[in-house]
Amino acid sequence: MPEQTETESGIIVVELASEHELEADHVDAVVDVKATAFFTGNAAFANAKEVASLVRRMEELGVPATAFTLQAVQAETTEGLLTRSSSALYTLRIRLVDMSRVGDVLSALSGLKQATLRELKWGYVRESEARQDWLEALARESVKKARRVAAGLGVTLGGLHRFSERTWDSPAFGPRVGGYVSDDETLPQSMPGSYGGRASLGFTVSHRKKVHVTATAQFRTHPAPGS
């Protein structure tokens, strides 16, 4: 835990930093499906055969129907006429919570001719709670450090004068080099593979990121009794 401490004008300043890793607990796969019929809302899942085929294939892999959300529908019209027979492009979000099956799901997607994986969005449900825990740990450590410094300087530690904190993220691996795909990175428009075997996806599907936390605490000091 890197640290820096200094004294100035009756103030002890303690700076602490820590670094942690978080692993994604779910991922949203955003998929485009080209279909030969136009429907909106939940009707798309039942009546657009290409969309229904995708849902059935995912259910075979243990992905429930409730994991699917229709994000958008883009109709392709002829001479400005929109009918049920108009072809359409459906954008679906598939929420995957069983991280051990993500590779199988992506491999299966690559075997669907009408489906294109647009991107993966990794999610961290407990990130907010974890950040608070890490910050509280730094705050407690800053008090201990300030007390030790005050004792060494022969002064009495007073109350807290000022406290500030900062957190930021960085990838656990560099893009592509370690197989990392960031939240904003769009995947290639096609992936080799088929139902019969695993696709060569070109990236890892267990995503980690680093979280950096810093805390700066300033404490007032008073001369020790009798000094």
**Comma-separated ranges of CATH 3.30.110.170 domains in the chain:** 1-25+124-184+202-227
- The CATH number, out of the four listed (3.30.2420, 3.30.390, 3.30.870, 3.30.70), of the domain defined by the range 26-123: 3.30.70
Which own/partner contact pairs does 176-183 have at CB distance under 8 Å and 24+ positions apart?
176/203, 178/204, 179/203, 179/204, 180/204, 180/207, 181/120, 181/122, 181/207, 183/121, 183/122
Residue 6 pLDDT > 60, yes or no?
A: no
pLDDT value of residue 191: 40
pLDDT value of residue 198: 39
Q: What is the mean pLDDT of residues 203-215?
A: 81
Task: Dig out the tokens for 26 from the structure.
Answer: 């779910």
**Domain at 1-25+124-184+202-227: CATH code:** 3.30.110.170
Q: Are 57 and 65 in contact (CB under 8 A)?
A: no
Return left, alpha or beta for 176; rule: phi > 0 is left, psi -120 to 50 is alpha, else beta: left
Summarised one tens digit per residue, pLDDT across range 111-154 is 899 999 999 999 999 999 999 999 999 999 999 999 999 999 99
Task: Dig out the tokens for 174 from the structure.
Answer: 């560099």
**Comma-separated ranges of CATH 3.30.70 domains in the chain:** 26-123
Q: Are 12 and 162 in contact (CB under 8 A)?
A: no
pLDDT band for 76, please (50, 70, 90 cuts): confident
pTM of the model: 0.68
